Amino acid sequence: MKLKGIFDRKPEPMRVEYTDHIATKKISHEILSLLPASAGRPIIFVCIGTDRSTGDSLGPLTGTFLAESELSHFHIYGTLDDPVHAVNLQEKLDSIHKEHVNPFIIGVDACLGKLKSVGIIQIANGPVKPGAGVQKELPPVGEAHITGIVNVSGFMEFFVLQNTRLNLVMKMAKIISKSIVEVSRKYQRRLELHPLVTDEERTL
């Protein structure tokens, strides 16, 4: 029996259907559980994608909705006005690390999946790997990530992304952004109640 393989297995991401009537509550609870307990690390959301492709616009749409919400505790990168995409991703990541000390980065991106999974939003530890669905080699992003399955994978992925319904992408982006806004409120309350708690103390 390969015990190492069993115990090294990564936990499955949390999966929430965007039409779930308590999707925002479920997603915000999961994101909050991934954030560092202390106020010492800036929280960065890097919303990846471009509005040149309908399916790939999930990230910048989410980033735009978040920027309009003017969140006090979170920093947002990647909007329709100033997208983070394949061409400038490394440059943006370098800039983030120059501007912020020890940032906690959460990547937000669209992805492709099985037909039955279209419309599902996933939240998990570990970096998102942008471009993987369309065979692009890009740097991984974040210590945690949020992805939305916007269409079906397996064949002509570029074409599939280009022909994804904007209606679906908009609805998913609104759910993700509403969830992050709710996380901001809860995170602010947590810091007010426990302003000096460190990440090490949280695990004791």
Residue 113's CATH number: 3.40.50.1450
Is residue 133 domain-resident? Answer: yes
- Domain count for the chain, please give it: 1
Specify which residues 46 forms β-bridges with.
Answer: 77, 107
- Other residues' Cβ atoms within 10 Å of the Cβ of residue 194: 14
For the segment 161-180, the average pLDDT, to the nearest whole number, is: 95
Helix, strand, or coil (residue 166) = helix
Mean pLDDT, the chain, integer: 87
The pair phi, psi for residue 189, each rounded to 5°, is: -65, -40
For the segment 193-200, the average pLDDT, to the nearest whole number, is: 57
Task: Give the pLDDT band (50/70/90) at residue 63.
Answer: very high
Is residue 1 domain-resident? Answer: no
Contacts of 79 (CB under 8 A, 6+ apart): 47, 60, 63, 64, 67
Is residue 63 domain-resident? Answer: yes
Is residue 150 domain-resident? Answer: yes
**In terms of pLDDT, which residue wins out, 9 or 160?**
160
Q: Which range (47-61, 85-99, 107-121, 149-163) has the least confidence?
A: 149-163
Is residue 201 domain-resident? Answer: no
**In terms of pLDDT, which residue wins out, 202 or 108?**
108
Q: Which range (5-14, 49-58, 156-165, 178-187) has the least confidence?
A: 5-14
Is residue 5 domain-resident? Answer: no
Is residue 131 domain-resident? Answer: yes
* 107 contacts 146 by C-beta, under 8 angstroms: yes
Is residue 196 domain-resident? Answer: no
Of 41, 147, 129, the residue nearest 89 (C-alpha): 129
For the segment 172-185, the average pLDDT, to the nearest whole number, is: 97
CA atoms within 13 Å, Cβ hemisphere of 123: 22
Which domain, by its residues, includes 18?
A: 14-190
User: Model's pTM, two decimal places?
Assistant: 0.87
Q: For residues 59 and 110, what is the distance between their CA atoms, to the nearest angstrom?
A: 7
For the segment 15-35, the average pLDDT, to the nearest whole number, is: 97
